[in-house]
Amino acid sequence: MQERQIMNQEDVRRALTRVAHEILEHNRGAEDLVIVGIHTGGVHLARRIAASLREFEGIDVPVATLDVSLYRDDLGVRTQAQTKLQQTDIPSGIQGKSVVLVDDVLYTGRTIRAAMDALVDFGRPQQIQLAILLDRGHRELPIRADYVGQNLPTAIGERVKVRLLETDGRDEVALMLEGIHAEEETDVAE
Amino acid sequence: MSLSRTIDTPEIEEALAAGTTIRKHVLDLDDFSREEIHDVMNSARSMKEVLGRDIKKVPALRGKVVVTLFYEASTRTRISFEEAGKVLSADVINMSASGSSTEKGESLLNTGLTIQAMGVDTIVIRHPHSGAPYLLAQELDTVNIINAGDGLHAHPTQALLDIYTVQDRLGGLEGKKIVIVGDVLHSRVARSDIWGFAKMGAKVVLSGPTTLMPPDLLLASNSIIQSTIGSLVEFDSDLDQAIEGADVVMALRLQQERQNAGFLPSLREYIRRWQVTDERLSRANPGALVMHPGPMNEGIEISNSIAHGGNSVIEDQVTNGVAVRMALLYHVTTGPTQLD
Amino acid sequence: METESLVIRQARIIDPSRDLDQVGDILIGNGEILATGSLGSDSIPDGTRVIDGTGLVVAPGFIDLHCHLREPGFEYKETIAAGSRAGAKGGFTTLCAMPNTDPPIDNAAVVEFIQQKARQDSKVRILPIGCVTKGRKGYELSEMEELASAGVACFSDDGDPVFDANLMKLALTYSSDLGLAISNHCQDKSLSCNGVMAEGPVATHLGLDGIPAAAEEAMIARDIALAESTGGRLHVAHLSTAGSVPLVREAKDRGLSVTAEVCPHHLTVTDQWVLGGKGASASVAGSLAYDTSTKVYPPLRSLNDVEALIKGLADGVIDCIATDHAPHDLTSKQVTYQDAAFGISVLETALGSLMQLVHESKLSMVALVDRLTLGPAKILGESYKELATLQPGTTADIVIFDPEHEWTVDTSQFESKGKNTPLDGTKLKGRVVATIVGGTIVYDGPGLQFQAEKGRA
């Protein structure tokens, strides 16, 4: 399987640092922020962003995790392996907070739709913003990201693989060049 | 007919090729691997989080129809499934044998076919005859079947919630000693628990009157047991001895009619030999869990103080039951459907 | 009876009544066997049809001491017509019909009804079995002499064993001058309780109530004691447990008039089949578990029992094989295991499944034929022995079968109305090619090759 590297470890680090700065700038600080990572990739990125915020501002921003499986619109055409549930944990609550949703790849927008539906079951946030490591286009819903690590024009059907230090031992974003028999992707439907 | 549904998307074929199980029915625990049980436990933990929310509702099964088809009286299991389905946004229809066409002599199979024709996605069935869920699974093409207790055979969802409860409290089952006391012969819960606990690596010790133990369960020549859970199950009629060092003590319901059928000389003698009491529990490990699948006969198989004492996790079992049933309904009902 | 002449050429002729097992010819005419051996062209009349018997076995037609033809009363499960066609297809030329009909065969009128029906509809000989007690209820003896005079083959209350020991004793005593055996279905129902399959690990795993071996053995022991004290003729129906074999052996050793039968399924199928895998060794219940076609009385038992029964049959302790053909309608089996009717439709698979024992060298071909012909005939009595021989001058009741023919059981092709068999879809080796009753071909199956008729070539 051939692949083309889109972002290396340094690229990922710089992108996330910039996103963290933009979040601070946009929200004029980190008060009343909650960072919500979408399982699986988004959770790791959310923790890194929170760490940057702590570094820049000295504030501990609450990090929450969200599994959107129960809100998906494609249940029934997914395999059991894909529908495995993970922990949703929103210790701080989101009532009246500014929520920054974090995910690795933005594609059709369906995951983000599911995530927003899930979030509002936990309360009424002041606003919901979206931070994304890679935006590959091809939206099927009227959703756009507020903070983007990198834009990458892709073809429908191409596959993007995000590898993260926490799960794969290195940070890297790659475009899979041929075939569809790729190793399990973290975000097949997104 | 197989436990797997017909599927034809490349994505799913790939997953199947990689060894992923796609479960259509929950008929017994005997075809669950340890890994699959772990998966159910993980999902149940997520479901328990949903149950802890202010708004206990997720849309996962929106537009799905679940029928609870109960041919035996039940309170907790039926309500537990109903709540599980409703929290997941399924439409849940309860049907019991009394007041239905069963009273007009309609056969189980025809009832099943009728329900299938109505487009129901999942049937949760309880039936006094062992194997009744298999009959539906074999004859119905499009409906998922979940066994909510069949005859003396199995009660897989109860066993899974019991595993969840022990795992939640003790961190795991591997190497734990679990004593099951009482009428194992007539208890489908015990039969499924034995299977599930041993499968998860616990040592299971059965105690109770020899007349109330299933024949051949522990026979060395029992290839069914030997090849799967083998030496992890033992029998010791002396409860005082069996309970020594136990991590979990589970008392089973003793139906009073067993005395009339000759299984027991008297309740008095049963209570003296096998009631779970404070004195007996003191021989178990400190902090040992006390469990009971309900409904309890307090004062017979379990003393009042134990039933409501600090070691009792009987109410946990009930709460966890909803989460485990949500997990199973979710997995079975959202699995890939045949795409035409 | 006016019948054509037939000669079967170059077949393996097995005739246990004469200890015969050799390749040769057999000539049939006028409903009788005219000659066997190596027949020259001169000894065969012109116009005789010639069957090529190469590779085939010719034997006396099989006699089934125990089957259920359901008529009168349960014609939706089986009829004498359909049952007799099934029997013919299975190589049986004589079927003894159990009296659990409605009304039961407890008086001469019912016997005559069945005989009349058989004359009209049946391809094979039908011998009704009379009830031991009125209405098979186990309280009063039936008019056994009237039944015997009407022509019953033996007496039995079938699935309702004579539970009252004293009544069984009286039945054995009363019938002792009638020359007919009492065939008892030995099952102590106070021990079998609500059991639906053999007690054992499979029953425990499936949560089905088990029937202990003792339920059978206790009543066999009782009946043997009663046979000893009365001098009556006891026939033990369908042995199923390893422990039953020595009971019968010991009774025979003591010279008692005790005989026994065993069914094809108890010689070839185990309780593992209830798990749904057609006998494949399994540690879990497959999705096809609780296969109600495996529900039969006596229940399918362990491999140990099966092996003991085969040995008992080979040793001659067990006198004969009887099918206990028990056809049922679909509805009686498309229910839970507990609700399903007991019984297997056996006639059409009997030979194929029994041949497995011959192919595996557990039973000789001659012994197999003996247990299907002379064995049952002896139990019926002296006058029936001529149905179990190929001796020239006797009635031409004959089966021709191909021991090597492999086929797959397909119940949709059954002649019997009962499609209830766990063997559906399984492969068998050994199949009936033709069945001849009184010189007439009543079943003409695949593999029957006619050559040019003699004299018209």
Q: What is the CATH number of the domain that holds B34?
A: 3.40.50.1370
User: b/e map of C84-101 (b: 16 or more CB within 10 Å)?
Assistant: bbbbbbbbbbbbbbbbbb
| In chain C, residues 314-353 whose CB comes closer than 8 Å to chain B | 331, 334-339
Residue C36 to residue C60: CA distance in whole angstroms: 12
Q: What is the chain B residue with the closest CA to A189? A: B11
Mean per-residue pLDDT for B261-273? 92
User: Are B182 and B149 within one domain?
Assistant: no
* pLDDT at position B223: 62
Helix (H) or strand (E) segment spanning residue C436? strand C427-437
pLDDT tens per residue across span C163-209: 999 999 999 999 999 999 999 999 999 999 999 999 998 999 999 99
**In the block, which residue shows the tokens 């309500």?**
B79
The closest CB to that of B130, out of C206, C212, C284, belongs to C206
Q: Kindly state whether residue B4 falls inside one of the protein's structural domains.
A: no
Beta carbons within 10 angstroms of residue C165's beta carbon: 13
Q: Is A190 on the interface with B (CB under 8 A)?
A: no
Contacts of residue C366, Cβ cutoff 8 Å, sequence gap at least 6:
C14, C16, C19, C21
* pLDDT at position B219: 59
pLDDT tens per residue across span C344-365: 999 999 999 999 999 999 999 9
Q: Looking at the predicted structure, is the pLDDT value of residue C302 above 80? A: yes
CB B320 within 8 A of CB B168: yes
Give Cα B82 to chain centroid, integer Å. 16
Residues of C annotated as part of the active site: 324
> Which amino acid, residue B104?
K
Contacts of B337 in chain A (CB under 8 A): 76-77
pLDDT classification of B14: cutoffs 50, 70, 90:
low
Q: Kindly state whether residue B135 falls inside one of the protein's structural domains.
A: yes
pLDDT classification of A178: cutoffs 50, 70, 90:
low
User: Are B45 and B132 within one domain?
Assistant: yes
pLDDT tens per residue across span A75-129: 765 554 456 788 899 988 899 999 999 999 999 999 999 999 999 999 999 999 9
Strand blocks (E) in C30-109:
32-37, 49-52, 57-60, 62-67, 92-97
pLDDT classification of B273: cutoffs 50, 70, 90:
very high
**In the block, which residue shows the tokens 């002396």?**
B238
Q: What percent of chain B has pLDDT over 70?
A: 87
pLDDT classification of C455: cutoffs 50, 70, 90:
low
* pLDDT at position B294: 86
User: b/e map of B224-247 (b: 16 or more CB within 10 Å)?
Assistant: bbeeebeebbeeeeebeebbbebb
* pLDDT at position A78: 53
A121 vs B57: CB contact, 8 Å cut-off? yes
Number of domains in chain B: 2
User: Are B75 and B64 within one domain?
Assistant: yes
Contacts of residue C301, Cβ cutoff 8 Å, sequence gap at least 6:
C198, C200, C213, C240, C241, C266, C270, C271
More confident site: A182 or B164: B164
User: Are B124 and B188 within one domain?
Assistant: no
User: How many angstroms separate the CA of residue B6 from the nearest CA in chain A?
Assistant: 12
Name the range with the highest mean pLDDT among B29-38, C2-11, C411-420. C411-420
Q: Is A147 on the interface with B (CB under 8 A)?
A: no
* pLDDT at position B220: 55
More confident site: C454 or B63: B63
What chains are in contact with A, requiring at least 3 Cβ pairs below 8 Å? B
What chains are in contact with C, requiring at least 3 Cβ pairs below 8 Å? B
What DSSP character marks residue C309? Answer: H
Name the range with the highest mean pLDDT among B182-186, B245-249, C382-386. B245-249
Residue C87 to residue C89: CA distance in whole angstroms: 5
pLDDT tens per residue across span B64-73: 999 999 999 8
> Which amino acid, residue A107?
Y
**In the block, which residue shows the tokens 């695949």?**
C446
Residue C379 to residue C439: CA distance in whole angstroms: 24
Residue C34 to residue C391: CA distance in whole angstroms: 8
Residue C6 to residue A159: CA distance in whole angstroms: 78
Q: Looking at the predicted structure, is the pLDDT value of residue A186 above 50? A: no
User: How many angstroms separate the CA of residue A85 from the nearest CA in chain B?
Assistant: 5
Q: Is B108 on the interface with C (CB under 8 A)?
A: yes
DSSP B36-54: HHHHHHHHHHHHHHHHTSS
User: Are B111 and B26 within one domain?
Assistant: yes
Q: What is the chain C residue with the closest CA to B219? A: C201
| In chain A, residues 37-66 whose CB comes closer than 8 Å to chain B | none
Q: What are phi and psi of C272, to 5 degrees?
A: -55, -30
Least confident of A96-105, B22-31, B142-151, C289-298: B22-31
Give Cα B144 to chain centroid, integer Å. 17
Q: Kindly state whether residue B91 falls inside one of the protein's structural domains.
A: yes
Q: Kindly state whether residue B314 falls inside one of the protein's structural domains.
A: no
Q: Which tokens sit at C63? A: 């006699």
Residue B125 to residue B72: CA distance in whole angstroms: 10
* pLDDT at position A82: 52
Q: Which CATH architecture has domain C6-57+397-451?
A: Roll (2.30)
C336 vs B129: CB contact, 8 Å cut-off? yes
* pLDDT at position C370: 98
Q: Name which of B210, B205, B213 is nearest B250 in CA terms.
A: B205
* pLDDT at position A142: 96
pLDDT tens per residue across span C214-261: 999 999 999 999 999 999 999 999 999 999 999 999 999 999 999 999
* pLDDT at position B237: 92
Least confident of B150-164, B248-262, C3-17, C347-361: B248-262
Q: Where are the alpha helices (DSSP H) in C303-412?
A: 303-315, 350-359, 365-372, 374-380
* pLDDT at position A80: 47
When the pLDDT of each residue in chain C is averaged and rounded to a whole number, the result is 95
CB A5 within 8 A of CB A132: no
Residue B62 to residue C393: CA distance in whole angstroms: 81
Beta carbons within 10 angstroms of residue A179's beta carbon: 9
The pTM score is: 0.90
Q: What percent of chain C has pLDDT over 70?
A: 98
Q: Is B139 on the interface with A (CB under 8 A)?
A: no
Mean per-residue pLDDT for B285-309? 94
Least confident of A131-135, B19-23, C181-185, C387-391: B19-23
Domain extent, residue B143, equals: 10-153+320-334
Cα dihedral B108, B109, B114, B116 in deg (nearest 10): 110
Tell me the CATH number of domain C61-388, given options 3.20.20.140, 3.40.50.1010, 2.60.120.920, 3.50.50.100. 3.20.20.140
pLDDT tens per residue across span C100-129: 999 999 999 999 999 999 999 999 999 999
* pLDDT at position A72: 87
Separation in Å, CA B181 to CA B232, B261, B271, C366: 16, 19, 11, 56
User: Are B139 and B266 within one domain?
Assistant: no
* pLDDT at position B258: 78
Q: Name which of C165, C287, C144 is nearest C221 in CA terms.
A: C165
Mean per-residue pLDDT for C321-346? 97
CB B280 within 8 A of CB B239: yes
pLDDT tens per residue across span C51-76: 999 999 999 999 999 999 999 999 99
Residue B213 to residue B183: CA distance in whole angstroms: 7
User: Are B179 and B92 within one domain?
Assistant: no
Give Cα C315 to chain centroid, integer Å. 19
User: How many angstroms separate the CA of residue B144 from the nearest CA in chain A?
Assistant: 13
User: Are B301 and B325 within one domain?
Assistant: no
Q: Kindly state whether residue B280 falls inside one of the protein's structural domains.
A: yes
* pLDDT at position B226: 63
User: Are B148 and B23 within one domain?
Assistant: yes
Q: Looking at the predicted structure, is the pLDDT value of residue C405 above 50? A: yes
Q: Is A177 on the interface with B (CB under 8 A)?
A: no
Q: Is B24 on the interface with A (CB under 8 A)?
A: no
User: Are B19 and B45 within one domain?
Assistant: yes
Q: Kindly state whether residue B339 falls inside one of the protein's structural domains.
A: no
Q: Kindly state whether residue B215 falls inside one of the protein's structural domains.
A: yes
Contacts of B59 in chain A (CB under 8 A): 70-71, 117
More confident site: C224 or B295: C224
CB C349 within 8 A of CB C269: no
- The structural domains of chain C, with segments of one domain joined by +, span 6-57+397-451, 61-388
User: Are B146 and B196 within one domain?
Assistant: no
What domains are defined for chain A? 9-72+87-154 (3.40.50.2020)
User: b/e map of B116-144 (b: 16 or more CB within 10 Å)?
Assistant: beeebbbbbbbbebbbbbbbbbbbbeebb
What DSSP character marks residue B336? Answer: P
**In the block, which residue shows the tokens 């027949």?**
C39
Separation in Å, CA C120 to CA A36, B324, C4, C126, C278: 86, 64, 21, 11, 39
User: Are B26 and B168 within one domain?
Assistant: no
